[in-house]
Amino acid sequence: MYTIAFSNEKGGVAKTTTTVSLGACLAEAGRKVLAVDLDPQANLTLALGVEPTRVVHSTASILLHDLPLRQAILPSSVSNLDLIPGSSETSQSERYLPVRERYEYLLRDAFQQAALQYDFVLMDCPPALGSVTLNALVASNLLLIPTQAEFFSIYALKNLMNWVRRIRSEYNPHLTYRLLLTLFDRRNRIHRLLSEQLRSNFNNGVLETVIEVDTKLRESPIAGAPIIFHAPKSRAAAQYRALAQEIIAYVEKANLQPA
Ligand code: ADP
Ligand code: MG
């Protein structure tokens, strides 16, 4: 089982879009996937067709009330793809987690105890480097950082990289990371320039696949279906399928330690 956290301090960089779209593509490729909504906005939950206000057990139940993780798993509308939903209660986690003992390890321990049979666990994080994101990164093999090729986005990466170093040294020495360029506009000169700079600064830290701007991606949450069902022939669907293949190859090659 490989665990991937989707995190970036910045909002609106396609963390949730990437979690849903990649999750559906991995499922389509025959992998069993669990998507975990750690953001109180519960956009991942909504995008997978579950109404957050009707959720009984959410990620908050696991983090704050020690609910066994299996009890919070729901099937989604996509076969091979299950969900641990978020709810408004998830916002309490950020605040109350740090008073719990060994709070950094609660999610990792919950996964270990549940002994799940998934190939991939994908965790959609809130846009903050707080106690919830810390839990996700401690429980992860891979941190996937969606980022735009914009100056402010790239500037924000500095802080995230410092965080990764701290987490590696204090909690999770196996954590690796990869950057994913999202919302890319190939006609935009700044995008082209900054993406080249990113590749020369981070070398193989940047994934080959690039996700370009595609309006179909904005429509798919409204339709309540991941892009490969909403617009199977769109450019975005093709790019997320390519991303799934790249991630599968990466994970097989890296031979990551199971979480
Ligand atoms: P985050 O979870 O990082 O806050 P979202 O996944 O919610 O970001 O994406 C922010 C907005 O951008 C959403 O309205 C989403 O539909 C839109 N979006 C994401 N990726 C793309 C893309 N490649 N092309 C066009 N719109 C996109
Ligand atoms: Mg989001």
Provide the residue ranges of all domains of the chain, joining segments of one domain with +: 2-252
Phi, psi of 124 (to 5 degrees): -90, 115
Q: Which amino acid belongs to residue 169?
A: S
User: Ligand 1: which atom is nearest the Cα of residue 19?
Assistant: 6
Measure 114 CA to ligand 1 centroid, in angstroms. Answer: 32
pLDDT digits (tens, 9 = 90+) for 170-198: 999 999 999 999 999 999 999 999 999 99
Whole-model pTM: value is 0.96
Mean pLDDT of the chain: 94
Ligand nearest to the CA of 223: 1
Q: C-alpha angle with apex 4: 168 to 231, nearest 5 degrees?
A: 150
pLDDT digits (tens, 9 = 90+) for 97-106: 999 999 999 9
Provide the ipTM.
0.99
Measure 115 CA to ligand 1 centroid, in angstroms. Answer: 33
Burial of 62 (0-12, 13-18, 19+ CB in 10 A): buried
Query: Is CATH 3.40.50.720 the right assignment for the domain spanning 2-252?
Result: no
Measure 14 CA to ligand 1 centroid, in angstroms. Answer: 4
pLDDT mean values, one per 10 residues, the chain (259 residues): 96 97 98 97 94 93 96 95 93 91 96 94 96 97 96 90 96 96 97 95 93 96 91 97 97 67
